[in-house]
């Protein structure tokens, strides 16, 4: 497929968030927010997505940086780069889980340009879809990955509903574990959406990965104080340790008192179309001693109900072991 020329679109470079919101509202379905461009430019060059209006938000300094909140939490602007998230002293000190997750995204070059907002709002990485086939997610009536010969090694274990793609973002499970709030603005105002509700599966809307609708802009992520300084565990397994998407990832935040696990939130990436909050694991380990036996039970609980496709059975023991390690080593 030729990548030498993108289809034409109107390019706008607003100098305020209000200006960006007005432009996105006016553009409606034909609008596209452009942040670091790592994902967007691939879509445009492959001619798979053809927006009429591209709103380049990368110049909006209001959306960059990390601020302390009065409750002891922090707010991270959506345009903060993944490198900044990885290295920021406040994030490293209080929410190391997120710094670790951001540091495992792609390559240093992509992290230097890629933004937290773009990482959270990125579309599915299923290669059939990215190649431009007319699958369910693209508005068609079949799933090429979930077919007898379909290549579905990277696809889901849970929550399939016609589409079997997974959530590709490394920072998303970390933010679900930290009980973060997504700050979304549009022409009608601002709303906060819990990270656990921000990502949506194909059963809700097969053409979107998040609750964002045309005209919406993710402006920031707020992390409450509750989990500041907790014990954390992030691990991502990919085919290669240079840039690559997760086959399975695990993100856990845990408060331990003596030997006892007092509180925990844990989420897995790349096993479902949304970051999968492992509530059953949380129930199994809360109030229990942080021992190898508890960790083993947690791993077993995590894989209950997993429904593998033809080529991704290996993800089941992988998820089980990552959960076991998270409980044992956090």
Ligand X SMILES: Cc1cc2nc3c(=O)[nH]c(=O)nc-3n(C[C@H](O)[C@H](O)[C@H](O)COP(=O)(O)OP(=O)(O)OC[C@H]3O[C@@H](n4cnc5c(N)ncnc54)[C@H](O)[C@@H]3O)c2cc1C
Q: Decide: 265 and 253 in contact? Cβ < 8 Å.
A: yes
Binding residues among 267-326 for ligand X as defined by CB under 6 A: none
Which of 24, 101, 165, 195 is close enough to bind ligand SF4 by CB under 6 A? 165
To the nearest whole angstrom, how small is the minimum distance from the Cβ of residue 131 to ligand SF4?
9
Residues 290 and 54: their CA atoms lie apart, in Å, by 50
Tokens representing 214? 């045309």
Contacts of 225 (CB under 8 A, 6+ apart): 69, 71, 72, 73
Q: According to CB under 6 A, which one of 145, 250, 253, 271 is a site residue for ligand SF4? A: 145
What's the maximum distance between 2 C-alpha atoms anywhere in the chain? Answer: 61
Q: Which does 51 bind (CB under 5 to 8 A by kind): ligand X, ligand SF4, none?
A: none
Q: Is 32 helix (H, G, I), strand (E, B) or coil?
A: strand
Residue 129 lies near ligand SF4 (rule: CB under 6 A): yes
Rule CB under 6 A: which of 227-246 touch ligand X? 243-245
Give least dist CB 165 to ligand SF4, A: 4
DSSP 143-210: -STTSTT---TTS-SS--BSB------SHHHHHHHTT-EEEEEETTEEEEEEHHHHB--TTT-TT-SB
From the list 302, 274, 286, 119, the residue with the least C-alpha distance to 196 is 274
- CB count within 10 Å of CB 239 equals 11
Binder to ligand SF4 among 136, 198, 233, 234 (CB under 6 A)?
136
**Which does residue 137 bind out of ligand X, ligand SF4, none, counting CB within 5 to 8 angstroms by kind?**
ligand SF4
If the CB atoms of residues 12 and 136 are measured against ligand SF4, the closer one turns out to be 136
| Residues from 128 through 187 that contact ligand X (CB under 6 A) | 168-170
- When binding is defined by CB under 6 A, the residue of 126, 218, 221, 274 that contacts ligand X is 218
Region of 114-122, 135-143, 207-215, 220-228 interacting with ligand SF4 (CB under 6 A) = 135-143
CA angle 155, 156, 157 (to 5 degrees): 135
Min separation Cβ 246 and ligand X, Å: 7
* Chain positions contacting ligand X, by CB under 6 A: 32-40, 78, 82, 105-106, 110, 113-115, 117-119, 121-123, 168-170, 212, 217-218, 243-245
């Amino acid at each position: 497929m030729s990548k030498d020329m993108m289809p034409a679109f109107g390019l706008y470079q607003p100098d305020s968030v209000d200006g960006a919101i007005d432009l996105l509202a006016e553009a409606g379905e034909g609008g596209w927010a452009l942040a670091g461009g790592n994902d967007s430019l691939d879509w445009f060059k492959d001619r798979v997505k053809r927006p009429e209006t591209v709103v380049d938000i990368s110049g909006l300094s209001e959306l960059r940086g990390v601020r302390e909140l009065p409750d002891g939490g922090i707010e991270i602007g959506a345009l903060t780069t993944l490198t900044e998230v990885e290295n920021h002293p406040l994030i490293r000190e209080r929410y190391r889980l997120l710094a670790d997750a951001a540091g495992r995204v792609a390559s240093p070059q992509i992290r230097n340009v890629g933004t937290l907002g773009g990482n959270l709002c990125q579309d599915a990485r299923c290669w059939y879809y990215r190649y431009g086939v007319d699958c369910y997610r693209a508005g068609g009536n079949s799933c090429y990955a979930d077919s007898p010969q379909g290549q579905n090694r990277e696809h889901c274990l849970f929550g399939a509903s016609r589409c079997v793609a997974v959530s590709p973002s490394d920072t998303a499970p970390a933010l679900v574990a930290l009980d973060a709030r997504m700050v979304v603005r549009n022409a009608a105002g601002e709303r906060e959406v819990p990270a656990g509700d921000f990502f949506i599966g194909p059963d809700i809307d097969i053409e979107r990965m998040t609750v964002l609708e045309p005209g919406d802009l993710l402006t920031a992520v707020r992390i409450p104080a509750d989990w500041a300084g907790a014990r954390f565990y992030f691990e991502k397994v990919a085919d290669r340790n240079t840039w690559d998407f997760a086959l399975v990832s695990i993100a856990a935040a845990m408060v331990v008192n003596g030997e006892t696990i007092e509180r925990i939130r844990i989420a897995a990436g790349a096993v479902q179309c949304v970051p999968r909050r492992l509530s059953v694991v949380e129930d199994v380990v809360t109030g229990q001693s942080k021992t190898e036996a508890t960790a083993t039970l947690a791993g077993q609980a995590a894989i209950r109900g997993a429904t593998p496709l033809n080529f991704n059975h290996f993800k089941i023991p992988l998820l089980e072991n990552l959960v076991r390690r998270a409980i044992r080593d956090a």
